[in-house]
Amino acid sequence: MLSYRHAFHAGNHADVLKHVVLVLTLEYYQRKDKPFWYIDTHAGSGLYRLSSAESQKTREFAQGIQALWNAKDVPETLQPYLDQIRQLNPTPTLQNYPGSPWLAAQRLRPYDQLRLFELHPSDVKHLGNNLAHDKRVYINQHDGLKGLLSLLPPITRRAVTLIDPSYELKSDYADVITTLAKAHQRFATGTYLLWYPVIERQRVKQMVKALQQTGIPDILQIEFCPSADSNGLGMTGSGLFVINPPWVLASQMQIALPWLKQTLAAADGHSTVAHLQG
């Protein structure tokens, strides 16, 4: 259960999709002066060096953030995300990639807060080194799905939650839906981002069906697959189910995804932006 290390995958196409959606969602929440929480159930270490042995072993970032680094004619909707990558890499060379906690910490205001969960002992140590100095940040070495439920409803009555387990265990696919349904019962107005990998299409269909059966009314599915579906031979893409999405998010991603498909040379791929029907 603790064998997964995100350092091997930092900056890949799945990170790009996940973090674009996250940054746009946080940007939308900042339009109101009222404080909010950012909750991350599987925070990782928060910051990754692309020159590390882990990143260099897989070089997944080459088909992700590296392809975007020197891209031209970037759509305006992607600028907030890329601006944060540039902030972390002030030189012309792409060297570092942020995890979701770092991205959130840069965007949140002094009166907002971050609640971060991470189980892996090495990653939670690095997470502390990277972000524990920030007084807005609370780090827990705890099961993030259980930890999430203990925080709801937040005292701010406003929160963005990212749920992105490794899906190492096949039970994770069902567990995240169960947790999300319970979370929505406790705090129905929060925005939840549930990330999923596309490895076997049937599993994604099962997640869609299970979500529809929860009765949660406002669910946006955003998916980007650089490669065509395969029979479980690796991750061909990824997606997010967004509960209570910002009203502008669908139109923003309808602009962003075709550009990503072209920039990442995903000729065989496809994308989806659609509201689930109950």
Known catalytic membership, residue 268: no
Q: Report the Cα 260 to chain-centroid distance in Å.
A: 16
Catalytic residue of the set 134, 164, 229, 268: 164
Q: Is 100 annotated as a binding residue?
A: yes
In the chain the domains, ranked by start, together with CATH numbers, are 6-275 (3.40.50.150)
Model confidence pLDDT, tens digit, residues 130-152? 998 999 999 999 999 999 999 99
Q: Is 118 annotated as a binding residue?
A: yes
Model confidence pLDDT, tens digit, residues 42-94? 999 988 888 888 888 878 888 889 999 988 889 999 999 999 999 999 988 99
Q: What does the pLDDT read at residue 10?
A: 84
pLDDT at 101 over 90: yes
Mean pLDDT of 11-22: 95
Cut 0.75: pTM above it: yes
